[in-house]
Structure 1
Amino acid sequence: MTNSRAERELALDFLRVTEAAAIESAKTMGQGDRKHSDHVAVEAMREVMDSVPMRGRIVIGEGERDEAPMLYIGEEVGGGNFSDEARAEFPEVDIAVDPLEGTNLCALGANNAIAVLAASERGGLLNAPDIYMDKIIVGPSCKGAVDIEAPVADNLKNIARRLGRDVEDLTVICLDRPRHKQLVADVRAAGARIRLISDGDLSAGISAAVAGTNIHALMGIGGAPEGVITAAAMKCLNGEILAKFVFDPERLGVDRTKVPPKEEAIERIKGMGITDPDKIYDTNDLAPGRKVIFAATGVTDGSLLRGVRFFGEGKRTHSVVMTTDNKSIRFVDTVHVEGGPDAVIRF
């Protein structure tokens, strides 16, 4: 991504990518097969991505090559419809994807499942392993007011002060997991409200940075890859994420056999170029790129995006596309027409 025009054109191409993944996974909504929902989203995303004029590289995807047949970490994507000579002129792009964030949500027909993609120039997104990460996310007004190692009550007081509210007026969102028992207790003890979600901390984190969602912060432990993709959105939204890797099974509330030993996890992240496993990451550490693109399309209805709607002659999608270069945030409502000249377009 070498100029504003290229960034705008790629943003629209990435919109097509997330729309395709959302449509295919939405066809499986409520069928109770999360693996199938994810599989069709991956296939659709990979097929459309290969038509994008770029030399893309997956830095966060479906897993290691041996575990994922497509969109695996290190996979080269894009430019499939062009000659070798033409591809040589395409921009080099690092890409982080979550073809279906909220696989359980889609399988159950629940809210807030989305298809997501983040991209930047080469080296612009942290190559984070699929391990746990503690996070706190706030909007633009609260940048610099929170500390991931501070007590929950102190962070809530600082957020309330920045927003000109009482702590009792705040709503914190977090995953409904046993590991968050103390966090939930601390939020309630401070007097704030809390919204527990079953899945989808990526879309929840974005909601925390957008005014009008009535979510003022996300706190708690989720996936590191989702943290990087959220950071790309924060960079476009001028919000803030602070994060730190978590290795301790007791803090995660899981059996030691369910997570790799700390030494093994540290060796893995060092192999991915991360030298300090105890570092506290901020937005620019997770997404250091100067030219960042974030695209997401709703699969099921949510607080930020509506889900895919099907009608006789096509379908309708609702997406958001954000870029850092021109600080644009576009909500895109697209009607995909499949019928002939007599098709009835529904708005």
Structure 2
Amino acid sequence: MDRELALEIVRVTELGALSSARWIGRGDKNAADDAPMLYIGEKVGNQKGPSVDVAVDPLEGTEVVACGLHNAQSVIAIADQGSLLHAPDIYMEKLACGPELAGKLSLEDPVEVTLQKACLFSGKSLSELTVMVLDRKRHEQLIHSLREAGVRIKLLGHGDVAGAIAAALPDSDVDLYMGSGGAPEGVLAAAALKCLGGEMQGRLLPDGPLEQQRCIRMGIANPTRVLYMEDMVGTGDVLFAATGVTSGEFLNGVRFIGKERAETHSVIMRAQSRTIRYIRSIHFLPGKEIPDALTVRQNVASL
């Protein structure tokens, strides 16, 4: 995969973030989210560049932006053609970790066993482990089990992708990310974790026969089996880029400077080199046409 694509895709996430930032704190999540993700199998581009799979979320965190909260971002991942999982828009159970624990844990283990393994391979005691979990009612039992075990819990209000990535960032204090979230977001997080040398395991959680059949129609023969990194992002190269809309775990949000300029904070990562680049950009707004989310989606199609 051409590494020059990295700068092209980060330009797309920057535009997505600048567009979404106009709606921070305005209480209108529908206006902030006026464009869907690419539909499965959609062909984009001018057919002259490399053949790749694209997963994009112009705004991950619509309610976050509407309420002016943390961890909203514009996200995109690109992988070799045929690599990215066709994930239905349902919940996925997730277990994410950094390089130190990659390949040593199993989503099929009980929580207590996972924690014991994490202690064994990290050299930490239970009281030193930090587990990040989305603060949701569906996670009450998981949070109870973690508290009973004596680990530190870092509750995350919003930002499923950022939460999973936090478990693998070099300077993060998070050891594990556990719980359930959106399946498409799981694929995006898996792409980032591959670039970081970490690991994501997932299991789809279809709610009833209709969602099970939907998974099967999308090529997932056994909807409840554990999905590993190669199932979600393949074995080849991956590029991941994100630009913060509101400040969060590892990215600052868009900051407007006067009437004519805005600052964005982005990250671009590549699996092949495991290089992490942070990009701080100052945009001159009169000279830049800030698109709505639909136009950002069309920009992806033009790559």
Structure 1 length normalisation: TM-score?
A: 0.79
Match of 2:10 among 4, 15, 18: 15
Structure 2 distance, partners of 1:31, 1:215, is 32
1:17-166 pair list within 5 angstroms: 17-39=12-34, 42=35, 62=37, 71-79=38-46, 87=47, 89-166=48-125
SS at structure 1 position matched to 2:142: helix
Q: Do 1:125 and 1:289's aligned partners in 2 also have CA atoms closer than 8 Å?
A: no
Asked if 1:187 is matched to 2:146, the reply is yes
Q: Tell me, which stretches of 5 or more residues in structure 2 are unaligned?
A: 288-303
Asked if 1:305 is matched to 2:251, the reply is yes
1:111-166 CA-to-partner distances (Å, cap 9, x unmatched) read 11111001112101011111111111000001122211212122112212322221
1:282-297 pair list within 5 angstroms: 282-297=228-243
- The 1:269–1:339 alpha-carbon spacing in structure 2 relative to 1, beyond 3 Å, is closer
- The 1:221–1:339 alpha-carbon spacing in structure 2 relative to 1, beyond 3 Å, is closer
Structure 1 distance, partners of 2:274, 2:105, is 24
Q: Which has the higher contact order (CA 8 A, sep 6+)?
A: 2
Corresponding residue for residue 178 of structure 1: 137
Q: Do 2:72 and 2:246's aligned partners in 1 also have CA atoms closer than 8 Å?
A: yes
Corresponding residue for residue 215 of structure 2: 269
Paired AA for residue 43 in structure 2: E
Structure 2 distance, partners of 1:325, 1:273, is 27
C-alpha deviation, 1:271, in angstroms: 1.2
C-alpha deviation, 1:289, in angstroms: 4.5
Structure 2 distance, partners of 1:32, 1:203, is 22
| Residues paired across the two proteins, number | 286
Paired AA for residue 168 in structure 1: S
Paired AA for residue 274 in structure 2: K
1:50-109 CA-to-partner distances (Å, cap 9, x unmatched) read xxxxxxxxxxx63xxxxxxxx333333223xxxxxxx4x311121111111111111111
Q: Do 1:123 and 1:289's aligned partners in 2 also have CA atoms closer than 8 Å?
A: no
Corresponding residue for residue 272 of structure 2: 325
SS at structure 2 position matched to 1:14: helix
Paired AA for residue 163 in structure 2: A
Paired AA for residue 232 in structure 2: L
Paired AA for residue 18 in structure 2: I
Structure 1 distance, partners of 2:80, 2:124, is 39
Structure 1 distance, partners of 2:133, 2:62, is 17
Structure 1 distance, partners of 2:170, 2:272, is 21
Which runs of at least 4 in structure 1 moved beyond 3 Å after TM superposition?
Answer: none
1:188-229 CA-to-partner distances (Å, cap 9, x unmatched) read 001011122232111100011113221111101111111111
C-alpha deviation, 1:27, in angstroms: 1.3
The worse-fitting range, judged by mean Cα deviation, of 139-148 and 182-191 is 139-148
1:253-278 CA-to-partner distances (Å, cap 9, x unmatched) read xxxxxx5x2x2222211111111222
Structure 1 distance, partners of 2:255, 2:44, is 29
Structure 1 distance, partners of 2:91, 2:271, is 27
Match of 1:235 among 191, 194, 201: 194
Paired AA for residue 282 in structure 1: Y
Q: Tell me, which stretches of 5 or more residues in structure 1 are unaligned?
A: 43-60, 63-70, 80-86, 248-258, 341-347
Structure 2 distance, partners of 1:120, 1:270, is 23
Paired AA for residue 106 in structure 2: D
C-alpha deviation, 1:326, in angstroms: 2.7
| Higher alpha-carbon Rg | 1
Q: Do 1:231 and 1:240's aligned partners in 2 also have CA atoms closer than 8 Å?
A: yes
Structure 2 length normalisation: TM-score?
A: 0.90
C-alpha deviation, 1:339, in angstroms: 5.8
- The 1:264–1:339 alpha-carbon spacing in structure 2 relative to 1, beyond 3 Å, is closer
